[in-house]
Structure 1
Amino acid sequence: MAAVVALAGGCGGPSSEEEIRKALNNVDAMIAKQQKAPGGYQNQEELGKLKSELERQLAEIAAAKN
């Protein structure tokens, strides 16, 4: 999970929209890679939670822009 947190921008999380989008792309890539690997569903729940949080942050940024 530490690698996932690092990809998302560290413990404090990403701060800019660009960083969040990059982290979201990384999480999507990790999910796809794990789905193809034998026994690759071990971190699916954590990755799903991280993806939801990143999507929430993007939605907040979009709302703040309007």
Structure 2
Amino acid sequence: SRPWRRRLWDAVQAAVLDPTNGLPKELRAQIAGVAMAVMRECAAEQPDLEFIAEMNDHFAAALWR
């Protein structure tokens, strides 16, 4: 099933769209754009799993910096 792939990105998008989020507005907009792209890919009939995994890896790596 596809919903599990999307949960992380739903949470990311909700976090960056929250007006109390302390990140700079431009960065929040960029992250929201990535989240939307990944969620679109997750909803595709045949999603590009390599793209989704790459975005997951990039964001996970950024969290550990």
User: What's the TM-score once normalised by structure 2's chain length?
Assistant: 0.43
User: What's the TM-score once normalised by structure 1's chain length?
Assistant: 0.43
